[in-house]
Structure 1
Amino acid sequence: MSEAYITRAAKFLPNESVPNEEMEQYLGFINGKPSKSKSIVLRNNRIKSRYYAYTRDGEPTHTNAEMAALAVKGLFASDPEKIKNVDLLSCGTSSPDQIMPSHGVMIHGWLPETGMIEVVSPSGVCCAGMHALKYAYMSIKLKDKKMAVAAASERFSPSLRAGQFEEEVQQLIRLEQNPYVSFDKDFLRWMLSDGAGAFLIEGEPNPNGPSLKIEWIEGCSFANEEEACMYMGAHKQEDGTLKSYKDFSNEEILEKSIFSIKQDVKLLSEKIVKLGFSNLKSILLEKGVTMDDVDYFLPHISSYFFESKIEDTLNENGIPVPKEKWFTNLASAGNVGAASIYMMVEEIFNCGLLKKGEKILLAVPESSRFSYMFCLLTVC
């Protein structure tokens, strides 16, 4: 088997960053009124700015696939001809531009210079980007491919705009009910951001700069034990099962905002940290790694609310991580779902401060039905 190295990392963020006080100028006011939950959610998540792939007037500026392609092109900014050597494109997202064709082939459509290559599109939510990375990693390890690109991207913003909820609000008014969308829908409007990240994975380290050797990537799912926590294109029923958008009429889809992103906040708070981060201890034991070996800990978190909860869980399980080893860019980039971990790695990869031999532990929880991905990298 070959080794596998991240030899380059790039990102793409659309337009200018949007500060908290300007969010509703982009997202709009539901029923013409400011959100009741905005200040509460922002106070807990402590996000200061984020990016949207459209203008204040609601005009789209980029598609999801286009942003991913721009991140991929960023990998080859210094030598554009090298992109012709890519033989695998592995792309993850939870917000594709369409149900079909696949997200990956739509990105490939923006990259004609790559020629005819293999393309894969892992589905999922936050873990989708890590699944894309693992496919690329395994392909290089097996010497099946020579130069792979893994990418992750999100374009949540169209699903967050006030117009997506207008029919639901009008239906509530007709029924003489409180004309506010429920907290499980409004909650995520103040959390999510648009953008893309990409890695180049090769069988040899970069001779002209830093590389990150991928030591291992491990994942686990608790879907056999837990019901869905975050979902889109479905309605959660009293028994915890999801009713598909396919089983609603067109009128019901609009009236119930079925295609809005929803979060069971109570279930999220109870489960997201305990399940996956308790399991991390057994993964580290199996791999022969201790937290003393780790120099940088990069947890994907949707809110700083979970930072102390993760810290407490790691301490309870005997794998504490000193706070000086933690790194996240949530406050400045927002929660970019599957792309968040790519953006964190890109920032630390290109900062110029990494030293050979240092180890980086990635942790990506996914609340949709409680899946987790962990990865260990070594600087070389």
Structure 2
Amino acid sequence: MTRRAVVVGTGHYLPERVVENAEFEATLDTTDEWIRSRSGIERRHFAAEGETTSDMAAKAAERALADAGLTAEDVDAIVVATSTPDLTFPSAATMVQSKLGMTKGFAFDVQAVCAGFVYALSNASALIASGQAERVLVIGAETFSRIMDWTDRSTCVLFGDGAGALLLEGQEQPGTHRDRGILSTDLNSDGRYKDLLYVDGGVSTQSTGYLRMQGNQVFRHAVEKLASTANTALDRAGLAAADVDWIVPHQANIRIIQGTAKKMGLSMDKVVVTVQDHGNTSAASIPLALSVGKERGQIKQGDLIVTEAIGGGLAWGAVVVRW
């Protein structure tokens, strides 16, 4: 028998404010058609004044717990993937822990930008497999609207705010590729490509900074690296692309999503797409898409799912999970 991290609950939260593409036309040299044609994005959500990353993360976590029929006292650990925490420290995860009323266990953040949720899932799976935790809340939450340069039309129209959460539970499985739970992971990074996607500020430079991106270069790396990491993770699980029921990718750009599916030899009918409604929510995009896909009735128990993401660093990776 093998101990697997099985998904037992999902939830997501989106801020009330919805920003349609047309709203940018008043302040930028752009149009709804221009944004849609290059990204597939139609709208995104922005956090309200005073609404923080940990606020959204806690709301998504509450919904995941309710979906599982459990409470915060049933949880041993919280892992929050974010690049936009409320404070430099303490971690957003400890703030979520407090907001949920959870007084035991442990909580920490993972920072790998858009690949953060894949990294967080991998860490949570290892905690469960090693016996250090029985149940782990894994949350992706971002307020990227707070690090946008609103004069840069090539980036500020792409990002949104939100949060998504999965509750993982350790369960004994037979130890085959038919098991439920996380079957394999693949993580990668290459710091040589830092200048392709970064924020030009930080604590040690005593500035907040804005997001900067070389979009064409990121696109070039994304399709190749995402398809490669997904196939590597599948191979580690003893599976192939033909076995996949759903790809649930990082929701950055519809052309990247389409290119990755094509490179893997899979139809877009097997891809959960939410980028049109949420924009790029960085580390929140995969758990958001998983929760929405479940709500839509697309994702069902027993389905084989591949999630993959790439972000600043560059950092990228994939997780294979049977629902």
- TM-score > 0.5, shorter chain as reference: yes
Normalised to the residue count of structure 1, the TM-score between the two structures is: 0.75
Identity %: 21
Of residues 321, 329, 340 in structure 1, which corresponds to 2:274? 329
**Within 1, Cα distance between the matches of 2:30 and 2:143?**
22
Aligned counterparts of 2:70 and 2:241: Cα–Cα separation in 1: 41
Q: What secondary structure does 2:186 align onto?
A: strand
Query: Matched residue of 1:338: which SS?
Result: helix
Structure 1, unmatched stretches of 5+, are: 55-59, 163-180, 206-210, 235-243
Return closer, same or farther for 1:64/1:297 CA change in 2, 3 Å cut-off: same
Q: In structure 2, what is the Cα distance between the partners aligned to 1:18 and 1:199?
A: 26
Output the CA distance in 1 between the equivalents of 2:287 and 2:301.
20
CA distance in 1, matches of 2:271, 2:286: 13
Q: CA deviation at 1:303?
A: 1.4
Match among 189, 197, 204 for residue 171 of structure 2: 204
Deviation (angstroms), 1:231: 0.8
Residue deviations 1:15-41, cap 9 Å, x none? 1422222346xxxx7xxxx21256534
Matches of 1:79 and 1:290 in 2, distance apart?
A: 30
CA distance, structure 1, for counterparts of residue 83 and residue 146 of structure 2: 13
- Asked if residue 344 in structure 1 is aligned to residue 311 in structure 2, the reply is no
Partner of 1:287: 237
User: Which of residues 102, 106, 110 is equivalent to 1:118?
Assistant: 106
Q: Distance in 2 between matches of 1:279 and 1:130?
A: 11
Specify the alignment match of 1:263 in structure 2: 213
Q: Does 1:158 align with 2:108?
A: no
1:105 to 94, 117, 133: 94
Q: Match of 2:128?
A: 140
| 8 A contact 2:4–2:180 mirrored in 1 | no
- Counterpart among 276, 282, 304 of residue 254 in structure 2: 304
SS of equivalent residue, structure 1 residue 51: strand
Match of 1:48 in 2: 42
Q: In the comparison of the two structures, how many residue pairs are matched?
A: 315
Question: 2: CA distance between counterparts of 1:122 and 1:378?
Answer: 23
What is the root-mean-square deviation of aligned Cα atoms in Å?
A: 2.6
SS in structure 2 of the partner of residue 226 of structure 1:
helix
Q: How do 1:1-380 and structure 2 match up within 5 A? A: 1-23=2-24, 34-37=27-30, 40-54=34-48, 60-77=49-66, 82-111=71-100, 113-160=101-148, 162=150, 181=151, 185-204=152-171, 213-223=181-191, 225-234=192-201, 246-247=204-205, 259-312=209-262, 314=263, 319-366=264-311, 368-379=312-323
Structure of higher CA gyration radius: 1
How far does residue 141 in structure 1 lie from its aligned partner after superposition?
1.5
Q: Mark the CA change 1:353 to 1:232 in structure 2 (over 3 Å): closer, same or farther.
A: closer
Structure number having the greater strand percentage = 2
1:332 aligned counterpart, secondary structure: helix
Distance 1:10 1:351 in 2: 13
Letter aligned with residue 9 of structure 2: R
Instruction: Give the CA deviation at 1:271.
Output: 2.0
Query: Residues 148, 286 of structure 1: CA spacing in aligned structure 2 closer, same or farther, 3 A cutoff?
Result: closer
- Report the Cα offset of residue 338 of structure 1: 0.2
Structure 1 residues 78 and 201: alpha-carbon distance in aligned structure 2, compared to 1, 3 A threshold:
closer
Shift of 1:52: 0.7
Amino acid at match of 2:304: K
**Aligned to 2:83, what secondary structure does the other structure show?**
coil
Displacement of 1:189 in angstroms is 0.8
The separation in 2 between residues aligned to 1:374 and 1:279, in whole angstroms, is 6
Q: Distance in 1 between matches of 2:67 and 2:234?
A: 37
Comparing 68-77 with 333-342, which one deviates more in the overlay?
Answer: 68-77
**In 2 relative to 1, CA 215–158 (structure 1 residues): closer, same or farther, beyond 3 Å?**
same
Residue 233 of structure 1 deviates from its aligned partner by 3.5
User: What is residue 168 of structure 1 aligned with on the other side?
Assistant: none
* Matched-pair contact (CA < 8 Å) for 1:360–1:376: yes
Q: 1:75 and 1:283 mapped to 2: Cα distance?
A: 26
What SS does structure 2 have at the residue aligned with 1:377? strand
Change (3 A) 1:187 1:109: farther
The one-letter code of the counterpart of 1:154 is E
The aligned amino acid for 1:350 is E
Q: Which one-letter code corresponds to 1:201 in the other structure?
A: L
User: Are the structure 2 counterparts of residues 308 and 73 from structure 1 closer, same or farther at C-alpha, using a change threshold of 3 Å?
Assistant: closer
- Residue 65 of structure 1 aligns to a residue in which SS? helix
Q: Output the amino acid matched with 1:146.
A: E
Distance in 1 (CA, whole Å) between partners of 2:257 and 2:124 is: 30
8 Å Cα contact 1:233/1:245 also seen in 2: no
How far is 1:356 from its partner? Answer: 4.5
TM-score, normalising length: structure 2: 0.87
Q: Is the 8 A contact 2:77 2:137 kept in 1?
A: yes
